[in-house]
């Protein structure tokens, strides 16, 4: 598999297969939202769009990064979100990096959103599809966020080497700027457990696929064939 690792500004062409990585915290939050019962996540283009979607659908749950804000129900924190019942709910998510990265590749034929919590399921799905070429979108810091790059490199390696040791990749993420800023309270809307939850390797058995639907980009959990080869969708 030919793997490319690109920051959002480097996306000059539409890739065929894109894996959009945001470890801290957008796609860790998304995975937790599905674990808490959310049916789907609408990836919003802007804060105004997120608020407009919420206004049009008052039963939806709107979520943003940074500090709490009027009109939004939650912030982009897995530590806070893990105790919220989202059974059957639609979540609208707008963040600085993760949602922007997914929207930047919305024309791709396959868009997966990932973090360490869904690494193995994501790698297994890529393995199953046997894609020749995969573009990993390293969403943070214009492609330089080491938590995202480490996770992307780990997933890429796992596609071909199932026994890849995660230790060094997780260490890099734990020592990244994002982890430090979350731990030190520099980034707002954070819970003390956020970094640990973002490093929760293979916490969930599903991958996450984003697809355009009625002019919106919708993220859903995506069951992948198990190790024993039982196919699910
Ligand atoms: O919520 C996050 O962790 C970041 C925003 S910030 O860097 O904390 O301000 O957004 P994300 O898109 O999840 O990287
Ligand atoms: Mg991030």
What pLDDT does residue 225 have? 74
The distance of Cα 56 from the centroid of its chain, to the nearest Å, equals 25
Among all bound ligands, the one having the nearest atom to the CA of 80 is 1
Cα–Cα distances in angstroms (integers) from residue 62 to residues 34, 106, 145, 166, in the given order: 14, 21, 26, 33
What pLDDT does residue 231 have? 39
- Is 28 close to ligand 1, i.e. is its CB under 6 Å away? no
ipTM over 0.95: no
What pLDDT does residue 226 have? 73
For tokens 């939806």, name the residue: 60
What phi, psi does 2 have (nearest 5°)?
Answer: -85, 115
- Is 128 close to ligand 1, i.e. is its CB under 6 Å away? no
Q: How many Å apart are CA 220 and CA 85, to the nearest integer?
A: 17
Residues of the chain with pLDDT under 70: 227-233
Measure the CA dihedral 35/140/192/184, to 10°: 180
What would the pLDDT profile of 22-77 be if each residue is shown by its tens digit?
999 999 999 999 999 999 999 999 999 999 999 999 999 999 999 999 999 999 99
Among all bound ligands, the one having the nearest atom to the CA of 63 is 1
What pLDDT does residue 175 have? 98
- Is 26 close to ligand 1, i.e. is its CB under 6 Å away? yes
Cα–Cα distances in angstroms (integers) from residue 65 to residues 27, 79, 160, 195, in the given order: 12, 13, 34, 15
Residue 134's CB: how many other CB atoms inside 10 A? 23
Are the C-beta atoms of residues 148 and 23 closer than 8 Å to each other?
Answer: yes
Task: Give the chain's domains with CATH numbers.
Answer: 2-223 (3.90.1560.10)
109 C-alpha to center of ligand 1: Å?
26
Nearest-atom index, ligand 1, CA of 194: 3
Q: Judge if the upstream peptide bond of residue 114 is cis by omega within 30 degrees of 0.
A: no
For tokens 């970094």, name the residue: 195
Q: What is the reported pTM?
A: 0.96
Task: Return the CA Rg of the chain.
Answer: 16
Q: How many Å apart are CA 78 and CA 228, to the nearest integer?
A: 30
């Amino acid at each position: 598999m030919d793997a490319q690792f690109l920051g959002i500004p480097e996306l000059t062409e539409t890739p065929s297969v894109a894996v959009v990585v945001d470890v801290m915290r957008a796609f860790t939050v998304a995975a937790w939202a599905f674990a808490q019962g959310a049916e789907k996540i609408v990836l919003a283009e802007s804060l105004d769009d997120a608020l407009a979607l919420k206004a049009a659908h008052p039963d939806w749950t709107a979520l943003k990064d940074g500090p709490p804000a009027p009109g939004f129900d939650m912030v982009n924190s897995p530590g806070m979100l893990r105790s919220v019942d989202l059974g059957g709910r639609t979540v609208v998510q707008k963040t600085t990096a993760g949602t922007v990265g997914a929207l930047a590749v919305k024309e791709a034929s396959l868009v997966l959103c990932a973090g360490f919590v869904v690494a193995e399921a994501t790698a297994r799905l890529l393995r199953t599809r046997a894609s020749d070429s995969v573009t990993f979108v390293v969403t943070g810091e214009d492609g330089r966020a080491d938590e995202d790059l480490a996770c992307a490199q780990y997933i890429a390696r796992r596609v071909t080497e199932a026994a890849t040791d995660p230790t060094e990749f997780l260490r890099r993420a734990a020592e990244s700027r994002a982890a430090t800023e979350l731990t030190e309270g520099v980034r707002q809307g954070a819970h003390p457990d956020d970094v640990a939850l973002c490093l929760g390797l293979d916490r969930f058995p599903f991958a996450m696929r984003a697809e355009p639907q009625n002019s919106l980009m919708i993220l859903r959990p995506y069951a992948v064939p198990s190790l024993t080869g039982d196919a699910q969708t």
